[in-house]
Amino acid sequence: MKLGLIGTGLMGRPMGLRLLESNYELSVYNRTKEKTIPLAEKGAVVYDSPAGLIKNSDTVILMLAHFRAISEALFREETGFKGKTVIQMSTISPAESLQLKQKIKKLGGNYFEAPVLGSIPQATNGELIILVGSSTGQFKSFKNLLDVLGNKVLRIGETPKGAAIKLALNQLIVTETAAFAMSLGYVRQTGVSVNIFMDILRESALYAPTFDKKLDRYMKRDFENPNFPVKHLLKDLNLISENFYAEQINNLILEAEKPILQKAIETGLGDKDYSALYNIIHPENKNSNKK
């Protein structure tokens, strides 16, 4: 299989390295070419254009920030997809996924979606949860490939059910992060012991592992080396809120969180880890860093 990867950023790079370690013949493209260097050093062929990569690949994996970037990469230049399969692994809407499927099919290619749940550590270790929207035949044909990237590869149904369940899961990232930041901020501001608060929380039905995963960042207000930056969370929030509203799901909670992320970006936190929204929910002051 001649495999191509378009998008070698925070998630694409460790995914590409996993494929190279599994002896796949890999070609890569990224708009910022410097981000392909770690993959080139491990044997990947670097292309200067998506069209060149697509022409010389049998299967193309997409790991890009949003639908606009995907469309530009695939369709900006006249490209043939006859006999090729495109696997879309980013977070996009169900309607966008269907649009890609229809356009690629019209151009002679095959398409399915496989968005992922997890971040850089899971991508590095091949422990992503992969949410596949495909035919049963596509799932069987590409299961071995996807197993290299994830330790749980699930067929959700036909396209775009994979995209839909990804939005449902990412909604929890937004709301759980903000909800925990509020409670933690209040506990610290009032001088209650964070250790006691966490001990109670861990033993209750309210607990989610992400709370402990991000706790040290909150306590130290250290949001460097992001697994997922604030600006991407805002992008996902806009996408989720729009799609929930379209399906007649009340989205007022999501809309209320938009100004928090927007303010985080305005104050220079856009490229920091998404847990940096804590600094907006619980601004630093003389009482804000109590244990």
Closest by CA to 277, choosing from 208, 212, 211, 221, is 221
Amino acid 78: pLDDT:
86
Q: Which long-range contacts (CB under 8 A, 24 or more apart) does 99-106 make?
A: 100/70, 100/71, 100/74, 101/159, 101/160, 103/74, 103/75, 104/74
Mean pLDDT of 259-270: 98
Lowest mean pLDDT among 139-148, 209-218, 263-272, 278-287: 278-287
Q: Which residues contact 111 (CB under 8 A, 6 or more apart)?
A: 85, 86, 87, 88, 100, 101, 104, 105, 159
Cα gap 16→22, rounded to integer Å: 10
* DSSP category for residue 77: S
pTM: 0.94
> According to the model, what pLDDT value does residue 272 have?
98
Q: What is the pLDDT of residues 59-83, one digit of tens each?
A: 999 999 999 999 999 999 988 899 9
Residue 43 has pLDDT above 90, yes or no: yes
- Which pLDDT score, from 0 to 100, does residue 252 have? 98
- Is the CB of residue 163 less than 8 Å from the CB of residue 200? no
Residue among 266, 247, 268 nearest 258 (CA): 266
pLDDT at 150 over 70: yes
CA angle 46, 42, 58 (to 5 degrees): 50
pLDDT at 291 over 70: no
What span, in angstroms and rounded, lies between the C-alpha atoms of 130 and 67?
19
Mean confidence (pLDDT) of the chain: 96
Q: Which structural domains are found in the chain, ordered by start?
A: 2-158 (3.40.50.720), 164-281 (1.10.1040.10)
pLDDT band at 290 (very low <50, low <70, confident <90, very high): low
Per-residue pLDDT of 239-264, as tens digits, reads: 999 999 999 999 999 999 999 999 99
Tell me, what's the pLDDT at 285? 83
